[in-house]
Amino acid sequence: MSGASLPTAAPAPVPAPATKRAAFPARALRWTRRLPLSGKVGLAFVLFWLVIALIGPLLAPYPIGAFVDENVFSPASRTFLLGSDYLGRDVLSRLLHAARYTVGLGAGAALLACTVGTGLALVAAVGRGWVDELLSRFMDTVISIPSKILALVMVAAFGSSLWLLLLIAGLTYVPGNYRIARALAVNLNQMDFVSVARARGERRAYIALSEILPNMLHPLLADFGLRFVFIVLLLSALSFLGLGVQPPQADLGSLVRENISGIAEGAPAILMPALAIATLTVSVNLLIDALPHRGRN
Amino acid sequence: MSASPASRPHAARNTLLRMIAGRIGAAFLTLILVSLVVFTISDLLPGDAAQEALGQSATPAQVAALRHEMGLDRPAYVRFGSWITGLAGGDAGQSLVANMPVGEIIRERLPNSLLLAALTTLVAVPLALTIGISSAMNRGGRLDRALNVATLSMVALPEFLVATIAVLIFSVKLRWLPSISMLPEQATWGQFFETFAMPVFSLCVVVIAQMARMTRAAVIDQLDRPYVEMALLKGLSPARVVIRHVLPNAVGPIVNAMALSLSYLLGGAIIVETIFNYPGLASLMVNAVTSRDMPLLQACAMIFCAVYLLLMLLADVTAIVANPRLRSA
Amino acid sequence: MSDPATAPDTPHVPPHVPPHVTVTNLRIAARGPDGQDIVIVDDVSFAIPKGEVLALIGESGSGKTTIALSLLGHVRPGAAITGGSITVGDAAIRSLTPAALRDLRGNRIAYVAQSAASAFNPSRTLMDQVVEPALIHDLLPRPAAEAKAVELFRALGLPKPDTIGQRYPHQLSGGQLQRLMAAMALITDPELVILDEPTTALDVTTQIGVLQAFRAVVRDRGTTAVYVSHDLAVVAQMADHIVVLNRGRVRETGRVHQILQSPRDDYTKTLMAAAHPVVEAAQDKPRTAPVPLLQIEGLTAGYGRVDAQGRPAVPVLRDIGLTLHRGEILGVIGESGSGKSTLARVIAGLLPPARGRISLDGAPLAPGLDGRSRDDFRRVQIVFQNADVALNPAHSVGQILKRPLAFYHGLTGAAADARVAELLERIQLPRTLADRPCTDLSGGQKQRVNLARALAAGPDLILCDEVTSALDTVVGAAILDLLADLRRELGIAMVFISHDISTVRAICDDILVLYSGDVVDQGPRAAFGSPPHHPYTDLLIRSVPEMRPGWLPEGLGAPALPPIDPLAGDADLCRFLPRCNVRVAGLCDRIAPPRHDLAAGNAILCHLEEGPLAVAQRAEALV
């Protein structure tokens, strides 16, 4: 099909002088319009949560720790849009604060996982045989430890301050990203354009960063999204078990945990934070899936 | 190449056995490396088990005596050696908190975990295969797109949301099922169903979605090959093409997907076990983390890793046996 | 249909006999990425009388395979038949239900795919797959179908016809699989067989036997056939009628000899001209420099561990020696697996040799990349076959050309821009292309940029690895012209690697023939004009189809070879021995062949002397 999409079969059709690429907003709009419906929904929620993570606390109607309701687990009402929690605090306000932890930790840890994983993958791909052998052996070992188990062992050993959680969640998903990135990089490393660069006398660093890496960005972006989803689920699970973000700080998983006793009443205090996590992870997943794939029709 | 036709099957069986032996060896080696990683991380634990056991008021001499008694004053590699040989011999040490052998605690919990995992497998595998294959066969169609969005969402759902909603609907609103899963000693079939319905359902949601997506990808990967077009041009019906031509080639990746998802069932059941108060291995491990009971934690972690490696090994061997290129290389 | 006079009347069928296959005003369109329809087959009509062979010929994108598949009622995903009619016998293909179509396919109409290696299911035995059409259409019980398959295997000249069916596809060669695919097509005695470029993926020496086998079985059965190909010379052997296609339209239709002898359409003429590349050869001026530009002595290379004697575990090249002077072109020819591409990689330093010396202008060149200076790198440039993967898709044309300018010459900014414009002009591309991502270019344009990148270094030597093989004939011929220009005007020497001896003979000064890692024949171009040659060179030359009907010998493959003792697998014996038609028992199967010179100036690796070779090869030429 690729042949059919190129109207350039003639020997040398002189293209019109490259029209200046459209300005960013116009391009972004066109890109968005091409997404399938599921992708548009995903994009909308992803943007929504990014905004909440940035300015959420400013929107909170009540201070985060204030006991504002006489009742606990009250249902949604005009005064408390998402009801109140097990101590009579405003769920919406707590949620707006907690989202920041969930999104921030998730994005930070995913970035850490992808940077370390891809960096090591590039080293393995262009490095000498034994470097690849050693790294891959190590990653294969770590990947054989189920991610939740690995995270639990690390939490037990190191504790769970915010920075440690970021580090633990990031490191847990390094091997997964390494595996994907290494497969991509090793494939690209065998391409003729890399052979040409090597025969030109280029250094390994140039080959890794200028020849190989640019061609990995697209799939890596998708992998970043996937790691983000995994990490958000992992951290929420840890918090839900009481092993993640510790009070007085709270992420969305902590909110579910502290309100678990509201389950019998079907309180919004337990459902809303859980739903919030779900909309975040599901929408990221939908968006990644809708991204245009290069090379696939 | 020079093998005579008569000796060929024999030689092929030998290469097959050698390959399988190689995989078993590799899995074993990985398990040892895994134990090293687990030991190293848990050994980095700040603080001291002896100090913690005795509390703040203990004198340094008392602590030192206990350290000696617990073997904590030996070098790390010696402790690793005795730990790993103990594990291999079935002795996982003494639980620091429960003050009983780790092996005994685990023996009590492990069957529960296996039962839950087996039930989930029984439900999830046929469903996942059906969903995966039918969406691959309808690729790009309405059914495929709907299933795609559905499974895509299911894999990203936090388990506590699934479990919570299940409890809300079936226990709170409908009052059909209890919200806690405790199997009585002499359970009837009805009680059995009541106990396991919600935990199995909650685990299934994620696992089915994962398996179905990977199955679909494996089948589609094969559907794109020229031999599929050739089979259609021989006059085969699409169903026959999938059953006779595609599936034999997709067995490897599909089994691998199954193994990957199923390995999740033991360790990944943490949330489900916690919510339903189900006495499995995963919730045991959470307790070990909270109480910093390292021997118990290490033993649980090793069981989960061993199960993962065993499943991957089974998948690997299945793929080798199913592939004529590997079988008769 | 620009010229109605040349259109559908062509098959000279008496009016009272209806043609077996009729295609009328066929249109097929594909849905493009932006939702607009792209017409891939536009108003195509032709007819085939019963028992005759019609060839659909054209370059890539001509729609020939799409048309062929539509005869089976099949279109690839994303495309659809939008108009016209197709009739095969009494069946109107377009109006059939899916079930009726299935009944037809693999039964009355059979298909032979281009690459048998991928068209067979890798995990089922060949017998299983060959008899499947007969079984699913309930034509034969399994034992009868298997017996018939074995008969077909024999008729197609397959080795060990009784047991070959028990094997799996990966255990057989491409030529064998292609024959098995024909057996699978013919097991149901179809009335129409569609052969889709069935020999394109094969080596030229393998192709000839497969063509003979196909022609024999199709003729014996009186089967109507459609033969899809890009190669006019092959078509000349196989077909009665030709339909010339270009971009989905019929350019010319006619009987084979009419098209080959007096083509009416301009496009057909271009196609025929490109099939016989005529390149302006260099003048035979005396060699001025006494020191050759490139000299290779005793070079052995391969993969895996190297033993004490300097032999790698998997040797690819053995004891290679060659000499190349400034401004000359050395052709390296051989079939797939002969080691020709490895030779380029070794010279470029990508694969360090296990043994042997490479020198550039008399100075030794380090074996691998590590010991080479930046100037060494600059002087030797490599251009790969497939420009699609040789250009980094993440870079623009300008970026690609500027890198060597900056790397070797420190050229940046406006100076680099100016040089890029010059280079683009040099390779006859518009300078506005510099800002375009290289993924926007056509195949021929990419190959030109690929060449320009090598030129940007200012090299003394360019290693051209099958640079025209992935291109359509017309586009490839233009690249050959460009190479000849570059050599003439810039005095750049080239190692031109190809599997196509006519291309090599057109452009090269000297030729080197590789067989299974050995140089078997080596000498000036003139020496390759007439026999005697090395027996392999002879086979290679004889295997290139000529564009006249009747060139392909009758019968089934080559005559039996002289008998020899079973081979002990001695590494030093002549490697061509198993296929050699002039081998001598007691000599060739005992002693390693010597290298000796022939009168025409070439050196061959063979036991046979000039006289016997000449006699044997003249005799063949007469057959």
Give one DSSP letter per residue of B222-281, joined into a string.
HHTSHHHHHHHHTT--HHHIIIIIIHHHHHHHHHHHHHHHHHHHHHTTHHHHHHTT---H
| Residue whose C-alpha is closest to residue C149's, from C172, C138, C165, C125 | C165
Q: Are C607 and C574 contacting, i.e. CB atoms less than 8 angstroms apart?
A: yes
What pLDDT is attached to residue B182?
66
Q: Are B295 and B94 contacting, i.e. CB atoms less than 8 angstroms apart?
A: yes
A64-79 per-position pLDDT tens digit: 877 877 777 778 777 7
What pLDDT is attached to residue B49?
64
Q: Are A190 and A182 contacting, i.e. CB atoms less than 8 angstroms apart?
A: no
B42-97 per-position pLDDT tens digit: 776 655 666 666 666 777 787 788 777 767 777 778 888 888 888 888 777 777 77
- Locate the domains of chain C by residue range: 50-61+96-269, 294-520, 530-623
CB contact under 8 A, B248 and C121: yes
pTM of the model: 0.86
What residues in C contact A9, CB-CB < 8 Å? 61, 247, 442
Burial class of C31 by CB neighbour count within 10 A (0 to 12, 13 to 18, 19+): middle
Q: Do domains C50-61+96-269 and C294-520 have the same CATH topology?
A: yes
What pLDDT is attached to residue C555?
66
Burial class of A294 by CB neighbour count within 10 A (0 to 12, 13 to 18, 19+): exposed
Cα four-point dihedral sign A63, A64, A66, A67: positive
Q: Which residues does residue A191 pair with via DSSP β-bridges, in sequence order?
A: none
B237-287 per-position pLDDT tens digit: 999 999 999 998 999 889 988 898 888 887 778 888 888 888 888 888 888
CB contact under 8 A, C102 and B225: no
Kindly state the tokens that stand for C480: 């050959």
What pLDDT is attached to residue C622?
63
Counting Cα atoms < 13 Å in the Cβ hemisphere of A87 gives 8
Q: Does B237 touch chain C (CB under 8 A)?
A: yes
Residue B6: which pLDDT band, with cuts at 50, 70 and 90?
Answer: very low
> Could you tell me whether strands C294-306 and C312-324 are parallel, antiparallel, or unpaired per DSSP bridges?
antiparallel
| Residue whose C-alpha is closest to residue C236's, from C294, C296, C206, C276 | C276
Kindly state the tokens that stand for A191: 């391409």
> Could you tell me whether strands C510-515 and C518-524 are parallel, antiparallel, or unpaired per DSSP bridges?
antiparallel
CB contact under 8 A, A243 and B167: no
> What backbone torsions phi and psi does residue C304 show, to the nearest 5 degrees?
90, -175
What pLDDT is attached to residue C610?
86
Please confirm whether the linkage preceding A175 is cis (ω < 30° from 0). no
Write the CATH number for B110: 1.10.3720.10
| Residue whose C-alpha is closest to residue C247's, from C59, C70, C446, C477 | C59
Classified by CATH at the fold level, domain C294-520 comes out as Rossmann fold (3.40.50)
CB contact under 8 A, B286 and A154: no
Q: Are C24 and C93 contacting, i.e. CB atoms less than 8 angstroms apart?
A: no
Q: Is the pLDDT of residue A24 over 70?
A: yes
Considering only CB atoms, B249 lies closest to which of C110, C119, C121, namely: C121
> What backbone torsions phi and psi does residue C318 show, to the nearest 5 degrees?
-125, 120
DSSP 8-state symbol, C105? B
What residues in B contact A229, CB-CB < 8 Å? 156
How far C392 CA lies from chain A's nearest CA (Å)? 6
- The answer as to whether B85 is a domain residue is yes
Question: Residue B220 is inside which H or E element, if any?
Answer: helix B189-223
Kindly state the tokens that stand for C305: 């561990």
Range C400-415 burial, b when 16+ CB lie within 10 A, else e: bbbbbbebbeebeeee
B182-210 per-position pLDDT tens digit: 666 677 777 777 778 888 999 999 899 99
Cα four-point dihedral sign A129, A135, A137, A140: negative
CB atoms within 10 A of CB C474: 16
| Residue whose C-alpha is closest to residue B139's, from B255, B244, B238, B240 | B238
> Could you tell me whether strands C312-324 and C329-333 are parallel, antiparallel, or unpaired per DSSP bridges?
unpaired
Superfamily of domain A36-69+82-295: MetI-like (1.10.3720.10)
Q: Does A246 touch chain B (CB under 8 A)?
A: no
What pLDDT is attached to residue A19?
44
What are the residue ranges of helices labelled H in C510-598? Answer: 535-543
Q: Does domain C50-61+96-269 have CATH number 3.40.50.300?
A: yes
Average pLDDT, integer, range B286-305: 86
CB atoms within 10 A of CB B309: 19
Q: Are C427 and C447 contacting, i.e. CB atoms less than 8 angstroms apart?
A: no
Q: Are C7 and C1 contacting, i.e. CB atoms less than 8 angstroms apart?
A: yes
Residues 6+ apart with CB under 8 A from C30: A1, A4, C37, C38, C40, C78, C79, C80
* Element counts in chain A: helices (H) and strands (E): 13, 0
A136-146 per-position pLDDT tens digit: 999 988 888 88
Range C563-598 burial, b when 16+ CB lie within 10 A, else e: ebeeeeeeeebbbbeeebbbbeeeebbeeebeeeeb
Cα four-point dihedral sign C112, C114, C117, C119: negative
What pLDDT is attached to residue C12?
52
CB proximity under 8 Å: B 291-320 to A: 292, 294, 297-298, 300-301, 304-305, 308-309, 312
Considering only CB atoms, A9 lies closest to which of C350, C385, C442, namely: C442
Chain-wide mean pLDDT for chain B? 83
Which parts of chain C have pLDDT scores under 70?
1-16, 33-34, 277-289, 555-559, 566-571, 621-623
C185-202 per-position pLDDT tens digit: 999 999 999 999 988 888
What pLDDT is attached to residue C239?
92
- Domain hosting B130: range is 7-44+75-327
Average pLDDT, integer, range B142-160: 90
Average pLDDT, integer, range A125-149: 89
What residues in C contact A297, CB-CB < 8 Å? 33, 78
- Tell me how many domains chain B contains: 1
A158-187 per-position pLDDT tens digit: 888 899 999 999 999 999 999 999 999 999
Distance CA C485, CA C281 (A): 10
CB atoms within 10 A of CB C52: 20
Residues 6+ apart with CB under 8 A from C240: C52, C53, C54, C255, C256
Distance CA C487, CA C459 (A): 11
- The answer as to whether B61 is a domain residue is no
Residue count of chain A: 297
Q: Does A15 touch chain C (CB under 8 A)?
A: yes
Q: Does A287 touch chain B (CB under 8 A)?
A: no
List the single residue in A with minimal CA-CA distance to C248: A4
Q: Does B225 touch chain C (CB under 8 A)?
A: yes
What pLDDT is attached to residue C284?
56
What pLDDT is attached to residue B11?
65
Strands (E) located in C423-477? 461-465
Lowest-confidence region among A111-115, B174-178, C110-114:
B174-178
